Amino acid sequence: MATNFYFQSGSTSGTTNEQRLLEDLIIESIKIYGHDVYYLPRTSVKQDEILGEDVLSRFDNAYPLEMYLTNVQGWEGDGELFTKFGIQVTDQATFVVSKRRWEDVVGSNPDELLQLPSRPAEGDLIYFPRTNSMFEIKFVQHLNPFYQLNKFYIYSMSCELYQYSSEKFETGVEEIDAAETASSQDVFEYNILMESGDELLLQSGFSIVQEQFGTRALVPFSDNASFETEGQDILDFTAINPFGEY
């Protein structure tokens, strides 16, 4: 049996000091060769107990962390695909974060309601400022049978480019919260507010929507304006031609 009496104390477990040394070297390596990103824990607003889906979600915090990007020759995945709904980007990436650093920055926050308090969770987001890209965690490699010094030091997260669907972003980081402002389809984003910040309501209880809200704001790729322009040259609903037949 192969045994090193000068390292691992002559066994395969290693001592606490040796484990700490190796963990410090891993953290330092990620800081040297990695990138500064933001980790966004997902907060569930409305959980579908029948289908197990997270119908409504929000992101209230963004934690700066250093992560190593394993993709050195570009994004993985199928790239850009032309579908009947337009161009769909399916870029994928794999991020590596130190287990201890994640626990110190994210997991130790008592005010954060994490989906999985012990590790990064599928569904959380990673914002990569270098390319202004948002990635959603699809799978977290948190169990590896090949341990070094009998301890697990990193989380490897397989991510896919995030597809925004009107989630709320209130992280306080301007470039992250801008995603909601630019792409949100929520009509309540266009409500008229009073000086107190409350919504201006009618006697019927409905809110008043600003004029700039329209179908094009709701669906950026809609063709309603084009149909309306073309339809004016085809149909004539004036008094002398009520049925638009000529």
Q: What is the 3-state secondary structure (H, E, C) of the chain?
A: CCCCCCCHHHCCCCCHHHHHHHHHHHHHHHHHHCEEEEEECCEEEEEECCCCEEEEEEECCCEEEEEEECCCCCCEEEEEEEECCEEEEEEEEEEEEEHHHHHHHHHCCCCCCCCCCCCCCCCCEEEECCCCEEEEEEEEECCCCCCECCECCEEEEEEEECCCCCCEECCCCHHHHHHHHHHCCCHHHHECECCCCCECECCCCCECECCCCCHHHHCCCCCHHHHHHHHHCCCCCCCCCCCCCC
Q: Are residues 179 and 193 in the same domain?
A: no
Phi, psi angle pair for 129, to nearest 5°: -60, -30
Whether 236 is in a domain gets the answer yes
pLDDT at 67: 94
Phi, psi angle pair for 6, to nearest 5°: -95, -10
Whether 234 is in a domain gets the answer yes
Whether 19 is in a domain gets the answer yes
Whether 1 is in a domain gets the answer no
pLDDT at 82: 63
Q: Are residues 61 and 172 in the same domain?
A: yes
Q: Are residues 176 and 190 in the same domain?
A: no
Q: Are residues 94 and 195 in the same domain?
A: no
Whether 101 is in a domain gets the answer yes
Q: Are residues 61 and 179 in the same domain?
A: yes
Q: Which of 183, 199, 217 is the last residue of a domain?
A: 183
> Which stretches in the chain have pLDDT values below 50?
1, 215-217
Whether 131 is in a domain gets the answer yes
pLDDT at 13: 65
pLDDT at 96: 93
Q: Are residues 119 and 104 in the same domain?
A: yes
Q: Are residues 116 and 229 in the same domain?
A: no
pLDDT digit string, tens, across residues 183-222 = 665 555 666 666 676 666 666 656 666 655 554 445 555 5
pLDDT at 1: 47
**Domain boundaries, position 241:** 185-246
pLDDT at 172: 86
Q: Are residues 61 and 86 in the same domain?
A: yes
Q: Are residues 85 and 150 in the same domain?
A: yes
Q: Which of 183, 208, 230 is the last residue of a domain?
A: 183
Q: Are residues 74 and 145 in the same domain?
A: yes
| Rounded (10°) CA dihedral 198, 57, 165, 134 | 110
Whether 3 is in a domain gets the answer no
pLDDT at 189: 60
Report how many domains make up the chain: 2
Q: Which of 183, 206, 229 is the last residue of a domain?
A: 183
Whether 71 is in a domain gets the answer yes
